[in-house]
A and B are shown apart, each in its own frame.
Chain A
Amino acid sequence: MRKLHIVSAVSTLGLMAGLAHAGGHMASDMTLVSWGGAYQQSQINAYTDPYVAMNSGVTVTWDESSAEAVAKLRAMNEAGNITWDVVDVVAADALRLCDEGLAMEIDANDQLAAAPDGTSAEDDFGDLLVGDCFIPQIVYSTTFGYRTDMVPAGAEAPNDICDVFDLETYPGMRALEKRPINNVEWALLCDGVAKADVYDVLATEEGQEQALAKLDTIKDSVIWWSAGADTPQLLADGEIFMGSTYNGRLFAAIEEQGQPIGMMWDAQVFDLDGWIIPEGLSDERKARALDFVYFATDTQRLADQAKYISYGPARLSSAPLVGQHASLGIDMAPHMPTDPNNAANTFLYNYEFWADYRDDIDAKFQAWLAQ
């Protein structure tokens, strides 16, 4: 905000018409922030390589800091020196950045490409446009993988979220993320709470205690992870029977590494990942960032990313264009969390609820963990 003002003051005399992104002056350097690994590689392949090919002279620098993006952007803002141009964050972080005035607001129809058939960007993204600053890119899900060779003899492969809590049928260790989000929803769901009531129940003290009490029944059999790579590794090492993680990680472990792991899609929790543009960029950098985002979130580019990683494109219009994996040559559609066969029972991350309850429930969750 403060920076914007300085920029504006400089250009007050000439430019009255607000943003200058249509103008010819665009910065030639761009720093993109992402998560590293296979995900970032898919973005390089689908977005930046073609973008640089089209715009010779543009250089792209990557920073693998998305996990700490909010904290770092806040620190940059306090120091008055924003070094990032476009940042890949999960939707919840985008909302927080927007709340804190650290990300600029985006008008989807004005600043993003329409679908090839003319559908406006707003309609094409639909409900996934959560928050005013967030440009959705992919839909991913947090779901369970299990060791196919460790399924007890005589038992079916787990296919119900409540199998996670069923230590009798499925003994063995589980891996769950070391935070309340998703875990408490699953716990309530398996403790007799109807899916529609989950967040109403969770908003009450009793509901929170109920969820933790349910989790308590498997606490001794849980390894708590904090990095997405932990669960696939624990599965590969045979340390756990089943564990939650991002579906793309499980896809890589199963299809690319050939691990004996099965997917359990039941009650998978959809979440979104996308871009934000930090508030306080110079006009040239902002113009470049908007130009890149316009290109990188159009229908074809989003569909292209699905060639490299099994996350669903955020546009409706991209879904039919999803083809085969670039190197494995398998159809990607069945591996998308959004595929109808996988999406029989799903949750969407409740951003509004968690923005309010995150600190409160997390404090209780951590206290419970420490007991």
Chain B
Amino acid sequence: MLAADGTPLKTSLARALRRQKIRALALIAPLLLFVVITFIIPIATMLFRSVENQIVSNTMPEATLALQNWDESSDQTPEEPLFQALYFDLFKAAEAKEHTKLGTRLNYEQTGTSSLFRTTGRKLDDVGEEWQDPIEDIAPALKDGETWFALMSGRGDNTLLEARRSLWNDMVPDAFNGDVGLTLSDEVAGMLPLTAAAYSDWAIFEALEEGRDIAKRDPWEAVYVGLGLDLRNADTVAAIDSYSGPHAQDLKLLTAQLDQLPDLMFRDAFADLDEDWLDPEVWQTIKIYSPDYTSGYFLNAVDMEIGSDGAQMRPDNQQIYIKLFVRTLWMSLVITASCIVLGYPVAWLLANLPLRSANVLMILVLLPFWTSLLVRTSAWKVLLQQQGVINEILVWLGFVDDANRLILMNNATGTVIAMTHILLPFMILPLYSVMKTIPPTYLRAAKSLGATNWTAFWRVYFPQSVPGIGAGSILVFILAIGYYITPEIVGGTSGVFISNRIAYHISSSLNWGLAAALGSILLAVVLLLYWLYDRIVGIDNVKLGG
């Protein structure tokens, strides 16, 4: 088929439709963008954060690598090479003040790691000085930064420097870009591999982080440690013998007096800094959490932990999240149910009263919306507490004994009462708008057919109001699941929700990974319930209005 202008009809149609689609897309584009930025991206970030664990391998890349060879099921402390790698990693991390972040991260899994890393970082300089001092005694020229710069500079393609730069950038994302002002001599780098690596680390940090001229600055202790370690290597000693570059004589001074250098073991040095470094449990924790992605947060969020033989339940006295999830769901159901019970008659009245009275009632229903959540909840506090208005009235009326006043808040009852009040409009409004569309003649018809008031209501009116109940219930339930201010204020200990724990981990313990895992589970539960609801009730059966 051809259109009037000779183009195939399908092509013309497609073009016309495409224009329509583009226009439609342009109209929703601002909203789409808004939703993506404020909703999709944060949720994606949250999901990512709940499994992300690169901090360990980024902060301690070489130690993480060395840990691969350590058998965590043995109760043995790792060997010297691991501690050597740990030294260089931690030295860098301490200079960049990243070690405490790692300590905080690992402290979520193993109590005490926080101070272990903090105190170790503070005292790590002392270890290096054990090497620096004798080296400088033997070869005084190496006290001077300019000597070092001359020694390390030369001809080369800076492969090592770039490799070290990328390690830095892993630790502190993209902070080390720019010209370091150093061309590493390939010859020296081959001869003194550890020294060159440590010097590169220092040069990158000094030039790009501190913004100083590396040619004039003295390198940090780790460089001397690297040199000391290199000098222990027979190949290095041989290479120095045949080396004739800058400051060759200083290096030769050192090789001549190797016996003057300390015989320091890193394992012992770390044990001196903190005994806990010899504790295999610390290393088990580090190894378990060394992969880039972890299920640890999710396990924690369901009261589990990774033990030596896989995932296991936490001890009874630390289990809380499953209980809170169940409580949150259960109490949200109770709140939803009480909203239905209280809201249904009100909605029915609203739908059946003359317009003017209905408007007044509607204002009363909406009134809670116009007061701040905090004010409303605090008002409930005044009403519900033991010396509060409700108890006073009940005592005054003689329904309640003065000595046994009702405990209406700081427990689940308080949460249910206050949240039912707050969420009631979300039940009434959809119910009302659905009931408004049910003609009163249905009830009359049912009665004329012989149904009692109850049968007429139950068999005829109620089924038609079910979509309103469905819509209201979904709204109330999902809102209730996420509430935390009200439970926090009136919930005491038995009326708090999982959201309170999430808020705590976001703002107080700063364990955002765990908060993200808890949030993801909550999201998954809501989606699952939504799916179940769709299967059982059918989402088509939800109406927000006529």
* Bind each other: yes
Give A residues with C-beta under 8 Å from B: 1-2, 4-5, 8-9, 11-12, 16, 67-68, 70-71, 74, 96, 98-101, 173, 178, 209, 212, 223-224, 226, 237-239, 352, 355-360, 362-364, 366-370
Given known contacts A239-B386, A357-B111, A364 and B208 CB-to-CB distance under 8 angstroms: no
Give complex CA distance A2, B175 in Å.
5
Contact A238 B209 (CB under 8 A): no
Give complex CA distance A86, B400 in Å.
53
Question: Does B263 make an interface contact (CB < 8 A)?
Answer: no
Give complex CA distance A356, B111 in Å.
6
Given known contacts A2-B175, A364-B317, A71 and B510 CB-to-CB distance under 8 angstroms: yes
Give complex CA distance A357, B112 in Å.
7
Identify which of B113, B318, B387, B493 gathers the most chain A CB atoms within 10 Å of its CB. Answer: B493
Given known contacts A68-B507, A74-B510, A100 and B387 CB-to-CB distance under 8 angstroms: no
Question: A309 CB to closest chain B CB, in angstroms?
Answer: 24
Contact B318 A363 (CB under 8 A): yes
Give complex CA distance A98, B410 in Å.
36
Identify which of A209, A223, A238 gathers the most chain B CB atoms within 10 Å of its CB. Answer: A223
Q: 20 pairs across A/B with beta carbons < 8 Å? A: A1-B172, A2-B175, A9-B208, A71-B508, A96-B104, A96-B510, A100-B104, A101-B97, A101-B101, A173-B386, A223-B410, A224-B493, A237-B387, A239-B387, A356-B107, A359-B511, A366-B501, A369-B493, A370-B327, A370-B496
Contact B115 A352 (CB under 8 A): yes
Question: A104 CB to closest chain B CB, in angstroms?
Answer: 10
Identify which of A2, A96, A209, A370 gathers the most chain B CB atoms within 10 Å of its CB. Answer: A370
Q: How many residues of B contact A (CB 8 A)?
A: 52
- Complex contacts, B324 vs chain A, CB 8 Å: 370
- Complex contacts, B96 vs chain A, CB 8 Å: 1, 101
- Complex contacts, A238 vs chain B, CB 8 Å: 387
Contact B323 A370 (CB under 8 A): yes
Contact segment of B142-150, B210-218, B443-451: B210-218
Question: A74 CB to closest chain B CB, in angstroms?
Answer: 7
Query: How many residue-residue contacts, CB under 8 A, span A and B?
Result: 111
Question: A130 CB to closest chain B CB, in angstroms?
Answer: 12
Contact B101 A367 (CB under 8 A): no
Question: B13 CB to closest chain A CB, in angstroms?
Answer: 47
Given known contacts A101-B98, A363-B320, A370-B493, A355 and B114 CB-to-CB distance under 8 angstroms: yes
Question: Does B178 make an interface contact (CB < 8 A)?
Answer: yes
Which residue on chain B has the smallest CB distance to residue A179?
Answer: B508
Contact A2 B211 (CB under 8 A): no
Question: Does B506 make an interface contact (CB < 8 A)?
Answer: yes
Question: Does B103 make an interface contact (CB < 8 A)?
Answer: yes
The 6 closest A-B pairs by CB, nearest first: A99-B100, A8-B211, A360-B111, A367-B320, A71-B507, A369-B493
Give complex CA distance A362, B510 in Å.
13
Question: A261 CB to closest chain B CB, in angstroms?
Answer: 15
Give complex CA distance A366, B512 in Å.
18
* A1 partner, pick from B111, B209, B508, B509, beta carbons under 8 A: B209
* B210 partner, pick from A8, A67, A224, A359, beta carbons under 8 A: A8
Question: Does B385 make an interface contact (CB < 8 A)?
Answer: yes
Q: Which of B380-426 contact A (CB under 8 A)?
A: 385-388, 410
Which residue on chain B has the smallest CB distance to residue A3?
Answer: B175
- Complex contacts, A226 vs chain B, CB 8 Å: 488
Contact A362 B209 (CB under 8 A): no
Question: Does B492 make an interface contact (CB < 8 A)?
Answer: yes
- Complex contacts, B173 vs chain A, CB 8 Å: 2
- Complex contacts, B208 vs chain A, CB 8 Å: 5, 9
Give complex CA distance A352, B410 in Å.
33
- Complex contacts, B493 vs chain A, CB 8 Å: 178, 224, 369-370
Question: Does B174 make an interface contact (CB < 8 A)?
Answer: yes
Contact A364 B175 (CB under 8 A): no
Give complex CA distance A369, B319 in Å.
11
Question: Does B118 make an interface contact (CB < 8 A)?
Answer: yes
Contact A1 B114 (CB under 8 A): no
Question: Does B70 make an interface contact (CB < 8 A)?
Answer: no
Give complex CA distance A362, B212 in Å.
44
Per-residue CB contact flags for chain B residues 109-123 toward chain A (1 = under 8 Å, else 0) read 001111100100000
* B385 partner, pick from A11, A70, A237, beta carbons under 8 A: A237
- Complex contacts, B114 vs chain A, CB 8 Å: 99, 355-356
Question: Does B108 make an interface contact (CB < 8 A)?
Answer: yes
Given known contacts A359-B111, A363-B318, A16 and B213 CB-to-CB distance under 8 angstroms: yes
- Complex contacts, A2 vs chain B, CB 8 Å: 172-175
Give complex CA distance A356, B240 in Å.
47
Give complex CA distance A2, B98 in Å.
12
Question: A6 CB to closest chain B CB, in angstroms?
Answer: 9
Given known contacts A8-B211, A9-B178, A99 and B111 CB-to-CB distance under 8 angstroms: no
Give complex CA distance A78, B320 in Å.
30
Question: B482 CB to closest chain A CB, in angstroms?
Answer: 18
Question: B267 CB to closest chain A CB, in angstroms?
Answer: 23
- Complex contacts, B111 vs chain A, CB 8 Å: 356-357, 359-360
Contact B509 A359 (CB under 8 A): yes
Question: B39 CB to closest chain A CB, in angstroms?
Answer: 17
- Complex contacts, B319 vs chain A, CB 8 Å: 367
Q: Which of B126-181 contact A (CB under 8 A)?
A: 172-176, 178
Give complex CA distance A170, B103 in Å.
44
Per-residue CB contact flags for chain B residues 168-209 toward chain A (1 = under 8 Å, else 0) read 000011111010000000000000000000000000000011
- Complex contacts, A367 vs chain B, CB 8 Å: 317-320
